[in-house]
Amino acid sequence: MSNRLLVTGANGHLGRRVVEILLQKKAGTVVAASRDPAKIADLAAKGAEVRAADFGKPESLRAAFAGIDRLLLISTDAIIVPGQRLGQHRAAVAAAEAAGVKHILYTSVVSPFPSDSIIENDHFWTEQAIFGSSMSWTILRHALYTDNLLNSLPNALASGTWATATDNKGRNSVTREDCAKADAAALAASDFSKRIYDITGPAPVTAEEVARMATELTGKPLKHVSITKEQLAEGMKSAGLPPTLIGALVGFDVATARGYHATVSPAVQDLTGSAPTSVRDFLTANKAALMPKG
Ligand SMILES: NC(=O)c1ccc[n+]([C@@H]2O[C@H](COP(=O)([O-])OP(=O)(O)OC[C@H]3O[C@@H](n4cnc5c(N)ncnc54)[C@H](OP(=O)(O)O)[C@@H]3O)[C@@H](O)[C@H]2O)c1
């Protein structure tokens, strides 16, 4: 009998793609769970069973996860209030265990560690909650999305400079689409062992290299400038970003400067059968989105 699969956060960009890929592959019974099931009615129309699951309402989660063999816990976006996201994740792990889920999969981050930065810290402690449960698990440690460059590069191209605190060290980012394919493959597999996969791109790329690619593709000059983490934080503070978000974003650059984001792994190829998309190929395919807005 095929496994009953559940994806949380099915109305998010990643969750939605994972569900769509599972349905295309006809990967057995697919349950799509979201805070607001009405928003994923289209997935029901394509063949998914739809359920309500809000990690902020722990009392409802046991019923939401009932009868599920394998559950993909997609990390939430609640990163503004310290502690909120970790509480949500711990509640979801406890509910999955109580509901009798056999195998839990979790979208973590590469090189998680206990940290003042909410991102690494939440992922580290969520992994610990999973390791301490009675379920078997697959940890899918996602690198930073290459897609994030479409947020930072247009502004940088408009000014001609791109300031980072990465110390121009390499970052092996991965596309969200490759994450979705890898996550879907891991969820649909019949592997009930305990494994950690680093979901990365093909090779680390420095900010200077990214700047050169952006210049080649757009014809607009872009120079990478190395700044300190304090300068980066100050700039974000002046732009009005909330402190936890500043901590998270600065934390990414600091982690990159320390080499934590240079991890290279064959996991995307192994799980999906296809090589991961390079930064160059992603930017080439999304060239129009690089152009400065306005
Ligand atoms: N690697 C990276 O560079 C990177 C970048 C951005 C985000 N992320 C992480 O990866 C996750 C998926 O990325 P994405 O691009 O799909 O983000 P997104 O489109 O912003 O989606 C946010 C996700 O959080 C879920 N969520 C929010 N509150 C929730 C709650 N109370 N209970 C259950 N789920 C809740 C949403 O589910 P519903 O709306 O369906 O309830 C949705 O799946 C993000 O949430 C974040 O943790 C990673």
What mean pLDDT is predicted for residues 197-216?
Answer: 98
CA of 220 to the centre of ligand 1 (A): 33
Q: Which residues contact 120 (CB under 8 A, 6 or more apart)?
A: 109, 111, 112, 113, 114, 251, 255
Number of CB atoms found within 10 A of residue 245's CB: 13
Gyration radius of the chain over CA positions: 19
Judge whether residue 116 has pLDDT over 90: no
Is the distance from the beta carbon of residue 252 to the nearest atom of ligand 1 less than 6 Å? no
Per-residue pLDDT band at 294 (split at 50, 70, 90): low
Domains of the chain: 4-144+175-200+262-277 (3.40.50.720)
CA of 87 to the centre of ligand 1 (A): 15
Per-residue pLDDT band at 203 (split at 50, 70, 90): very high
Is the distance from the beta carbon of residue 146 to the nearest atom of ligand 1 less than 6 Å? no
Judge whether residue 263 has pLDDT over 70: yes
Per-residue pLDDT band at 29 (split at 50, 70, 90): very high
* Per-residue pLDDT tens digits for 265-287: 999 999 999 999 999 999 999 99
Is the distance from the beta carbon of residue 55 to the nearest atom of ligand 1 less than 6 Å? yes
Alpha helix segments (H runs only) across the chain = 13-24, 41-45, 61-64, 84-99, 118-131, 149-159, 176-188, 207-218, 229-238, 243-257, 267-272, 279-285, 287-290
Judge whether residue 240 has pLDDT over 70: yes
β-strand pairing of 195-199 with 4-7: unpaired
The pLDDT value given to residue 97 = 98
Contact between residue 23 and residue 10 where contact means Cβ atoms under 8 Å apart:
no
CA 272, chain centre distance (Å): 17
Judge whether residue 119 has pLDDT over 70: yes
The pLDDT value given to residue 1 = 66
Q: What is the mean pLDDT of the chain?
A: 97
CA of 77 to the centre of ligand 1 (A): 5
- Of the candidates 167, 169, 168, 176, which has an alpha carbon nearest to the alpha carbon of residue 201? 176
Per-residue pLDDT band at 5 (split at 50, 70, 90): very high
Task: Write out the two tokens for 221.
Answer: 């000059």
Judge whether residue 130 has pLDDT over 70: yes
Is the distance from the beta carbon of residue 65 to the nearest atom of ligand 1 less than 6 Å? no
